Structures are given as structure tokens and as C-alpha cells.
Structure 1
Amino acid sequence: MEMESAGKSRKLDIQELEEIRNDAYENCRVYKEKKKAFHDKLITRKQFSTGQKVLLYDSTLKIFAVEIQSEETRKCFKVNGQQLKPFYENFQMHTVEEIALEEPRI
């Protein structure tokens, strides 16, 4: 009788561990979904049109591809869309005001 009750107890323990593991997987999935939703809200979407000039940040990451064409070489290539920034041709830099600092008094 002892072996039978020990066997039933062991089966219950295994089922309980299986339930705990499944709960952990479910909690992990929910956490990842919430984290992704929060991250996606913070991403700014960029709108580019055909023929628009852009600045390209050189990196090896490839998240999603955008096909662009070089004006000089006419070569087409795919780049990560997060690396593109709008290029403003008539952008005016503001003049920087310089202020002379005095030596500290002791």
C-alpha cells in the first residue's frame, strides 16, 4: 500500500510542477507582450517618399529593410529603416554665442 500511495503522491507532484511551469511560461509570454507594446509606443514612425534625400547612419544592424538608391552611383541597396533620417537641404545652423569665462577668485 505504501508504494501505491507514494506513486500517487509522486504523480500529483509531477502534475503540480507541470502546472507551475506552464504558469511561468504564460507569465513570461504576457510580460513580453506588454514590454513589446510599451516599446512599440515609443518608436517614432518616419514617413519617407520616393526621391526624398535622406541621411544614412552606417551600422550593421538590420531590423527592417528599405531600398534606397545613391544619386552618384545609381546603385540600389537595402538598409535598416531605423538608420534613415530626413535630410533638410536648406537647414540653417544657428550661430553659437561665445561667452568669455573669468578666472575664479580665491
Structure 2
Amino acid sequence: MWATKLLNLDIKTAQEKRAMDLHELDEIRLEAYDNSRIYKERTKAFHDKKIRHKDLKAGDEVLLFNSKLRIFPGKLKSRWSESFEIKEVLPYGAVTLLGKDKNEFTVNGQRVKKYMANESTEVESSLCLDDPAPV
């Protein structure tokens, strides 16, 4: 109090300025929250657009990713191991697999991908031999 009297300042205007500064600071904080929310929504939409959903069902044949070959996989060695059959799809992405010798184990659904060897891809190609090529 004595400092304001010494400096010949008006307490009323100092209080009003302080209140205005606090309100302005509150508005800046709320604007920062809005900008952060908008940024998070856009980033989530961008990442969700890149997600490929796997439609795994019981009875499907899948390949299992072998993560132990990370350091030295070898020149021609694939990281995807032999085919397994899906016994059951558990909630939250877990999958129970059946091996060739009928032993079962549960793995994360991100470690498997569909085995497409049984899918038939018919590609028809036709050759047109109407005009013989000049010799």
C-alpha cells in the first residue's frame, strides 16, 4: 500500500490492470488447449487412416512373424514362419493358433498375417497372333 502511495499510483487502476491481465492470461490458456485438441484430432485421424484392419476368423491359415531373426536373418531367410491355423480370435487382438502337431499357443494379432497360398488368382492373358512379325 505504501509503495503505491510513494509512487503516486492509483490503486483502482492497478487492480483493474491486474484483473485484465489475469483474464487475458486465462484466454490464452484456453486458446492453447483448443489448439492442442485440434492438433491431437488431426494427428489421430492421420494415423488412423494408415491402419489396415485384419479380418481374422477361426479356421483361417496365417503366417507368424519370427521376431528373433531381427539381427542376422540370413540372406534368403524369411521372417515369416510356416502356416498356422487360427483356433480362436480373442478380444483385444490376441489370437490362438494351432500348429501342425496340434499344439496351441496364443500370440498378439499384430504378429500374424493371412496366408494367401490357397487363394486362386486367375489371370487371363491373350496373345494376338493376327499379324506375323516381319523377319
TM norm structure 1: 0.64
- Which structure has the greater CA radius of gyration? 2
Alignment pair present for 1:47 and 2:55? yes
Gaps of at least 5 residues in structure 1 are 92-106
Aligned partners of 1:44, 1:19: CA distance in 2, in Å?
A: 40
Corresponding position of 2:104: 74
TM-score w.r.t. structure 2 length? Answer: 0.52
Q: Please, which runs of 5 or more residues in structure 2 have no aligned partner?
A: 1-8, 68-91, 120-135
- What count of residue pairs does the alignment treat as equivalent? 85
Looking at structure 1, the residues matched to 48 and 28 of structure 2 have their Cα atoms a distance apart, in angstroms, of: 30
**What secondary structure is seen at the aligned counterpart in 1 of 2:104?**
coil
Q: In percent, how many aligned pairs have the same letter?
A: 38
Pairing partner for 2:38 from 24, 30, 46: 30
Normalized per residue, the structure richer in strand is: 2
- Taking CA–CA contacts closer than 8 Å with sequence separation of 6 or more, which of the two structures ends up with the larger relative contact order? 1
Structure 1 match to 2:112: 84
Shift in Å, 1:25: 0.8
Q: Return closer, same or farther for 1:54/1:8 CA change in 2, 3 Å cut-off.
A: same
1:49 partner SS: coil
